[in-house]
Amino acid sequence: MKTNKKAILFCTCSGACPSMTKIDFWALAERVRLEFEGKIEFMALHPRLCEPDGERFMSNILKEGIVYITPACKENKQQKLLRDGFEKASIPMDADHWLPISMALEDTDAVFQKIKAAVEGVIGERQTGKE
Amino acid sequence: MAGRAYMGIPRDKIPWRPYINPDECIGCGACMETCPNGVYVMNEEAGKVEVDAPDNCVVVCDKCAGFCPQEAISFPDKEETKRLIGRLLKEAPRP
Pairing of strands A42-46, A67-72: unpaired
| Position A1 in a domain | no
Chain B: closest CA distance from residue A112 (Å): 20
| Position A84 in a domain | yes
Chain A: closest CA distance from residue B58 (Å): 6
pLDDT digits (tens, 9 = 90+) for B43-52: 999 999 999 9
pLDDT class of B92 with cuts at 50, 70, 90: confident
Q: Residue A14 in contact with residue A48, Cβ under 8 Å?
A: yes
Which residue of chain B comes nearest to A12, CA vs CA? B58
pLDDT digits (tens, 9 = 90+) for B12-37: 999 999 999 999 999 999 999 999 99
Nearest Cβ partner of A18 from B7, B34, B56?
A: B56
pLDDT digits (tens, 9 = 90+) for B55-78: 999 999 999 999 999 999 999 999
> Is A80–B33 a contact, with Cβ atoms under 8 angstroms apart?
yes
Q: For domain B21-89, give the fold.
A: Alpha-Beta Plaits (3.30.70)
- Eight-class DSSP state of B8: T
Please state the domain count of chain A. Answer: 1
What predicted TM-score, i.e. pTM, was given to this entire model?
A: 0.85
> Is B36–A81 a contact, with Cβ atoms under 8 angstroms apart?
yes
Chain A: closest CA distance from residue B45 (Å): 26
Q: How far does Cα B74 stand from its chain's mean position?
A: 9
Pairing of strands B9-10, B5-6: antiparallel
| Position A18 in a domain | yes
Q: Where are the domains of chain B?
A: 21-89
| Position A74 in a domain | yes
Between CA B89 and CA B35 the distance in angstroms is 27
> Is B11–A17 a contact, with Cβ atoms under 8 angstroms apart?
no
Domain, as residue range, for A86: 6-130
Output A2 or A81, whichever has higher pLDDT.
A81
pLDDT class of B81 with cuts at 50, 70, 90: very high
Q: CATH number of the domain at A14, please.
A: 3.40.50
| Position A75 in a domain | yes
Q: Is it the case that residue B91 has pLDDT exceeding 90?
A: no
Question: In the prediction, which pLDDT does B95 show?
Answer: 64
Tell me phi and psi for residue B9, to 5 degrees.
-90, 130
Output A122 or B21, whichever has higher pLDDT.
B21
Show Cβ contacts of residue B73 under 8 Å, excluding neighbours closer than 6 positions: B18, B19, B20, B21, B31, B62, B64, B65
